[in-house]
Structures are given as structure tokens and as C-alpha cells.
Amino acid sequence: MEIPYVVTPRKDTGLFNSKIAIWLFLASEVMLFGGFFSAYVFLRLGADYPWPERTLPVLPGLINTFVLIGSSITVVFAWASLKLRNWNHFRIYMGITLFCAALFMVFKGIEYNVKFHHQAVRLDDYTIVEGHLGYEKEGDQYVLDHHGNKVEENMIRIETTGLTFSTVRYHKPWVEELLSQLEHREKNASVKLAEDIDAVVEEGKPAETLAKAGEELSLDLLARIRKAHLKARAHNADLRTDSLREAWKQAKSANPGKRDWQFSSDVDVNVEAIKDQLLTEIPAVSFVVEPAVKFEFKPRDVREAETQSRLRDDTVIDGKLLASPMVFHYVDAIDFRHLAMKAVEKGQDPISAVENSWLVQNHEFARKAWDWNKAQVAKLEARLLEDYGVHKETGLPRREPTAKERYRIDWKDFVAMSDGVDRGKGNIRIKEEFMGPDYKGREEARTFPEHFSLPREQVAFASKFTPAWNTYYALYFTITGLHGLHVIGGALVLAYYLFFGRRMFESNPEWLANRVEIGGLFWHFVDLVWIFVFPIFYLM
């Protein structure tokens, strides 16, 4: 049966089927992104921390804006070419549209990659340090984990004397990492089973030794113990269930006419009756590390303590917590805004709070940077006072430096400080707008502090610039990621028309033109969403 109004419009609406459908779909999309943008506004207005302002590099976002605008124009030209029955022109314009979509995603991928490698840390006093972590070295060689990746200088170090693994929850990659560290760093040490593992593995039979004390830690050993434990747990669960069922039957017989809740407290498993049938469960297995070995763990994987730490898979690590500083290879921003905000909330002077902060008191570079920043703020205050004057009623300046200007020192300020010029007049290159500061090009001038060490006890929270860092980046990745999926989805549909639309063009060119028009409407919506995303995230 032929579907009506695929090509010809309906008389009542003047629209064909797919155009009605796309407008309904776009209405739901407006509500989706409208909800996200509304959430952004309300969360920004109610933020309890200094909301990031003009944090993202403008140039990639600006280029992507023009790329999408250009693609919206070329998709219209592609549709017009089909209306004129010019297949070759359609191919050219649609090809340009798809190229723009790919270019947009490339720039977005570069931007995401920079964020995923940019480290931020909040100290206990709310000072923020941003930059890039260094990588551990042994001599001239980088230390690699068991995946072959370089290990960042952000590890929790524990002089381990014992390990206790949860039989069910141990995480295989973490065991492999421990064995890898043992093999490459402490070849004379060993991790051996603390005691014999004796267990009843068959009902009615005596206990047998599954593993002897002194057996080396291995995945095979843990798997063998895990298998016996799971078998015993399942078997024992069946016994307890059957015992409980029988107990209920007896309780009901002994209490005719009563409701279940009136005697439920007296119903329980008859442990004495089934104890000879139970198999041995082995919920945990302990190993001794001899001699003590310095193992390293990622901060997100371990909850450290002075004498006993615990991994997220419930592995218990016995041993002394060693110094485990975070070491930045380069620092490109120091932000005191959150510290100043907290000081004001407590009724304290924010300037004094910054000057008494741990970072300013203990790092010479931070102290110099803060002194330079204070001088720049003083110059800015004088300039604003001269240009705008004061209010006649209050006598206060009409214009004052922003909190960002007062309390944040970023990489462009470091360049200006190094070059001996005022803020905003440093040697800034266009290419740095994509990838961040030119660290290597500024090494001779010592522009950015190197090997900037932060003691672990001063670190309150650390993360890359990912959704975990703060609400701003959570919304940034959610909205731009969802928008990117729309770009990919729309590009795939348009690519289908380009590469598989020839037969449709030859049989019914108007139908293909209608389909491309629908795809173009969606593409215009994708462009419109970005028109909102760009100023909200990049300019405000």
C-alpha cells in the first residue's frame, strides 16, 4: 500500500508527513536542551563556589561556530541542487557539509583531550592549583604500569606488610598491577599466603587443604579460592532456605489461626540441624609481604590511612603510609577565589586569608606571583578610579576589579610576570589558544613553576577537568557531549543521502529532496543549539 503525503503536501496543513514529524521531534529537542540550559542558569546563580568565567579557550569555539554556520548554508545549497535536479552540485555541497561536521568533531575532540589531561587540585584551605602532573622516572626511563602507560606523580605510596583480598570482590586488574610492581621494582620481595586454607568442599567429607601457607600470590590461586567459596555459599544458602521453610511450616502448625507476624520472631534457621552439612566459606584471604614493599596506588582507587588502607574492591592493605605528594610538572594557574569567598563568609579579610594560606607561605613562586598580582590589582584600581571616579553619595569607586582579577593568577599572567610587563601584555601566541601554554618554549625564562610539589595531607580534592571536578564541567560535558552526538547522528543521516541516494534520485528526486530538507532542518537545529552553547560556556 502506498503511503500518502510522502511527496505531495496535505491540503489542510500544506506539509508532507516527514515535515510534520520533524517539527514535532524538534519541539521535544527544544524542551530537552531548554531544560539543560535552564539548569545551567539556576546552578550558576546558586553556586556555592566561584563559577568559572571565560575558562574555555575562545578560538576553537569560535571556529566551530563558523564551521557549523557554514555547514548550515551548504546543506541548503545541497537541497536547492536537488530541487534543480543537479546531482553533481548536490554531492559537492553535501560533501562540504559532512566535511564541516567532521572538522567540528575534530576541534571538539582536541578540546576534550586537553581537558582530560589538565589537572586541578583543591587544597584544604580552598586554594586551587591547575596545571599538568609530571610522570615518574627511574633514571632516564619513565615508569610504566602493566598497561604500558606512564605513571603520573600522583600516587599513594604505602610500605605494605600485608594484603587481604575479598574473595568475591577483588578486582583482577589491580591484582595484576600489584604483581607487576612487585616484578619490576622489588624482585627480592614476595607476597605469600599467610596460612593454610583448609575447607570442607564436599558435604559429609573432611576438610581438605585448598592452598598451603607460603604459596605465592597469583590470579589462579585467588580464582581457585573464589570458586570454592562461591560453591560453598550457594550450597549453604540452599540449606538455610530449606531449614527456614521447614521452620515456618512447624510454626504455623503450632500456632493455628494466628497471623504470620505474631510468631515470626520465633522462626529461625535450625543451625544445629544443618551444621554438619555446611561447607566452608572463605570470604577473605590474607597474604604476607616480606620484606615490606612500597606499592603505589591511584588516589581514586584507595582510601588511605596511617597504618591500614583499603581499596575500592575491599582489599585491605596493612602498612605505613609514606609521603605521597602530588607533583606538577608545570603549574599554569593559581586561584584564590574560593579561599577568599570562604574568608568573607567567616567575616575575615580575604587578602589576609590569601597571604596566610599554605601555598603562599610555603611556595616561593606562589608568594612572588601573589605579590605581582597585588601590584597589578593596585594599578587596575587606580586606572578604574581615574577613568570612572566615585559615587557622590557613597564615595565608593564606580568600577572595581572583579574577583577573577583580584584572586586568580593564570598562565597569561605568569607570562606577563616573567616578561616584566603588565597584565594582558604578555607574549601570548595564537596556537596556545588550542593546546594551552607553550611550556617548552618558556622553559628558559622559567615562566611556569616546574616540579611543583603539594603534600598529600594538604590535598582535599583532585581531578582532571572532567565532570568530577565541578558542576560547571559536569554541565559542559553533558551539553556539549549531547550536542556532539546530535552532530554525529545528523551527519550519518546526511551521509546516507549522499552515498546511497543516487537510486532514489533517479526514481523519485522530489522524495529525496524532501528527505534532505528534513535532514537540513535538523542540522539547522544543531547549529542553533551551538549558537546558545558558545556564548554561555565560552564568553560568559
- Tell me the pLDDT tens digit for each residue of 207-254: 889 999 999 999 999 999 999 999 999 999 999 998 888 888 887 777
| Residue 37 covered by a domain | yes
Same domain, 319 and 377: no
| Residue 435 covered by a domain | yes
Same domain, 271 and 361: no
Does the pLDDT of residue 260 top 90, yes or no? Answer: no
Q: How far, rounded to the nearest angstrom, does the alpha carbon of residue 210 sit from its chain's CA centroid? A: 42
Same domain, 438 and 478: no
In the beta sheet, which residues pair with residue 192? 216, 288
| Residue 4 covered by a domain | no
Q: Give the number of domains in the chain.
A: 3
Q: In angstroms, rounded to a whole number, what is the distance separating the alpha carbons of residues 170 and 68?
A: 48
Same domain, 479 and 531: yes
Task: Tell me which residue range forms the domain holding 208.
Answer: 156-323
Boundary residue ending a domain (464, 495, 526): 464
DSSP output for 205-274? S--EEEE-TTPBP-HHHHHHHHHHHHHHHHHHHHHHHHHHHHHHHHHHHHSTT--GGGTGGG----HHHH
Same domain, 273 and 187: yes
Residue 531 and residue 72 in contact, taking contact as beta carbons nearer than 8 Å: no
Confidence of residue 259 (pLDDT cuts 50, 70, 90): low
Confidence of residue 1 (pLDDT cuts 50, 70, 90): very low
Q: Kindly give, in sequence order, each residue whose CB lies less than 8 Å from that of residue 91, ignoring residues fewer than 6 positions away.
A: 498
| Residue 68 covered by a domain | yes
| Residue 147 covered by a domain | no
Report CA-CA distances (Å) from 504 to 8, 82, 83. Answer: 16, 11, 14
Residue 442: per-residue pLDDT:
81
Q: Residue 9 is which amino acid?
A: P
Helix (H, G, I), strand (E, B) or coil at 437: coil
Same domain, 435 and 482: no
Residues 413-461 have pLDDT tens digits of 988 898 888 887 766 665 666 777 878 878 777 888 878 899 999 999 9
**453-457 long-range contacts, CB within 8 A, separation 24+:** 453/325, 453/326, 453/327, 453/328, 454/121, 454/123, 454/129, 454/325, 454/326, 454/327, 454/328, 455/323, 455/325, 456/156, 456/304, 456/323, 456/324, 456/325, 456/326
Same domain, 69 and 29: yes
| Average pLDDT of the residues in 323-344 | 92
Same domain, 457 and 476: no
Q: Kindly give, in sequence order, each residue whose CB lies less than 8 Å from that of residue 90, ignoring residues fewer than 6 positions away.
A: 78, 81, 82, 498, 505, 516
| Residue 333 covered by a domain | no
pTM: 0.82
Boundary residue ending a domain (464, 496, 528): 464
Same domain, 478 and 455: no
Q: Which residue has the higher pLDDT, 10 or 411?
A: 411
Residue 398 and residue 390 in contact, taking contact as beta carbons nearer than 8 Å: yes
Same domain, 161 and 293: yes
Same domain, 173 and 301: yes
Q: Is the peptide bond before 467 cis (omega within 30 degrees of 0)?
A: no
Q: In angstroms, rounded to a whole number, what is the distance separating the alpha carbons of residues 415 and 433?
A: 14
Does the pLDDT of residue 258 top 80, yes or no? Answer: no
Residues 397-412 have pLDDT tens digits of 888 899 999 999 998 8
For the chain, how long is the longest CA-to-CA vector? 97
Q: Residue 266 is which amino acid?
A: D
**Residue 104: CATH number of its domain:** 1.20.120.80
Neighbouring CB atoms inside 10 A of 503's CB total 9
| Average pLDDT of the residues in 282-294 | 93
Q: In angstroms, rounded to a whole number, what is the distance separating the alpha carbons of residues 105 and 188?
A: 50
Same domain, 181 and 268: yes
Instruction: Report the chain's mean pLDDT, rounded to a whole number.
Output: 88
| Average pLDDT of the residues in 124-131 | 94
Does the pLDDT of residue 355 top 90, yes or no? Answer: yes
Length of the chain measured in residues: 540
Boundary residue ending a domain (423, 449, 464): 464
| Residue 11 covered by a domain | no
DSSP output for 67-83? HHHHHHHHHHHHHHHHH
| Residue 268 covered by a domain | yes
Q: Residue 87 is which amino acid?
A: W
Share of the chain above pLDDT 90, in %: 56
